[in-house]
Amino acid sequence: MPTRFGWFRSLVRPAIALGCAASLAAAQTSPEEPPYPPPGRLVDVGGWRLHLHCTGEARPGQPTVILEAGLGDFSVEWSLVQPGVAQFARVCSYDRAGDGWSEMGPHPRTMRQIVFELHSLLEKAGERPPFVLVGHSYGAWLVRSYQAAHPSEVAALILIESGASDPVRLMPDGRHVRSSTLARGRVVPAVKPAGPLRESDIPPAALAQMKAGLAAASAGANAPPRNKLPPPAQQMRTWALGRLGHVAAAVNSFEHEELAELRARAQGDYPLDDLPLVVITRGLPDEEGPDAPRLEAEHRSDQSAMAAMSRRGRQIIASRSGHHVPLDEPALVIATIQEVATSISR
């Protein structure tokens, strides 16, 4: 097996190993064809196609809004937000390589690679900056990375329940450790403009492990609060989470090094200068157990620190939301995007 796919041997981790004990024969994958055709278009970005769904009218002097979903999510996650934003702005959601209607792309799936692909996608599709980048959870890391790579293109950032600056990770032995302790200073690979992953590239043992949990992922695709999504979106999630590409889309063995880079860029006073920045934070607790109060306080503090990255940063508490603010309070997200877009257009 070519060494460029050796990183698959590091797939043994709790998040993927949930179905390891199941036999491959018992693993059920989704039907080959999705239940619905893509609402947007498939754009070739270098030998693999990504799904881009843009709605609303592009107006002179007004930014285009780009929606970046959380880990394991894709464009349908914005079903309660995008129609409202399209009433006043051009707005695009998309599916990262391997998820939703998009084809698998090169590996590993570093944030650097994903940013490169999004930039290529927007450029090839003719979507022009300036952009208001809206990222939920893991997507907030991605939009921050995009802004760092292409600062002249980004007019504002909206971070919704952003991933933590130094998240806790569960180790195979059951220990909980900070990402910062797992960073080894390795060089993050350069982006790959060609060479998308094929199923035949994956070593058999890793392929079996990846497929083993698909049935369970598909069965739980629309647990609350995703049951708030429209029925077609739920059906698409059920299909997509049962696909090999859904697992492959999350494989990034350089995550800890990339998070270290994000933390380094956040050092000092106002590292984003006066870039318009809004951080939306859940108001309802998501943590459980005896440490829940401490963890919630830490989360709120971490979110506040992100808002302080810009002189024009501010934090909004979504009082009726858990982690999934775009599903719990879509009207708040829409109103925030409109306020930011309008302020930039003046």
CATH number, domain at 318? Answer: 3.40.50.1820
- Round to whole Å and give the CA distance between 209 and 19: 7
Q: pTM of this prediction?
A: 0.91
Query: Is the per-residue pLDDT at 235 higher than 90?
Result: yes
More confident site: 12 or 100: 100
Q: Which two tokens stand for residue 178?
A: 């900070």
**Structural domain total, the chain:** 1
| pLDDT per residue as tens digits for the range 254-313 | 999 999 999 999 999 999 999 999 999 999 999 989 889 999 999 999 999 999 999 999
| DSSP one-letter string for 174-242 | S-EEEHHHH---PPPPPP-SS----GGGS-HHHHHHHHHTHHHHHHTTT-TTGGGS-HHHHHHHHHHTT
| pLDDT per residue as tens digits for the range 150-196 | 999 999 999 999 999 999 999 999 999 999 999 999 999 999 999 99
Q: What is the pLDDT of residue 32?
A: 87
With bands split at pLDDT 50, 70 and 90, how would you rate the model's confidence at 220? Answer: very high
Q: Is residue 336 part of a domain?
A: yes
Q: Is residue 259 part of a domain?
A: yes
Sheet holding 313-318, edge to edge: 41-44, 49-55, 91-94, 64-68, 131-136, 154-160, 277-282, 313-318
- Please name which of 219, 238, 210, 246 lies closest in space to residue 18, comparing C-alpha atoms: 210
Structural domain of 79: 41-200+247-345
Q: Is residue 314 part of a domain?
A: yes
Q: Is residue 227 part of a domain?
A: no
- Round to whole Å and give the CA distance between 300 and 283: 9
Diameter of the chain measured on Cα atoms: 59
Q: Is residue 236 part of a domain?
A: no
Share of residues in the chain with pLDDT > 90 (%):
88
3 state SS of 34: coil
* CA-only gyration radius of the chain, Å: 19
Question: Is the C-alpha dihedral spanning 282, 88, 232, 24 positive or negative?
Answer: negative
Q: Is residue 25 part of a domain?
A: no
Q: Is residue 66 part of a domain?
A: yes
Per DSSP, 150 falls in state -
- Round to whole Å and give the CA distance between 63 and 344: 7
| pLDDT per residue as tens digits for the range 117-138 | 999 999 999 999 999 999 999 9
Q: How many CB atoms lie within 10 A of CB 149?
A: 16
Q: Is residue 110 part of a domain?
A: yes
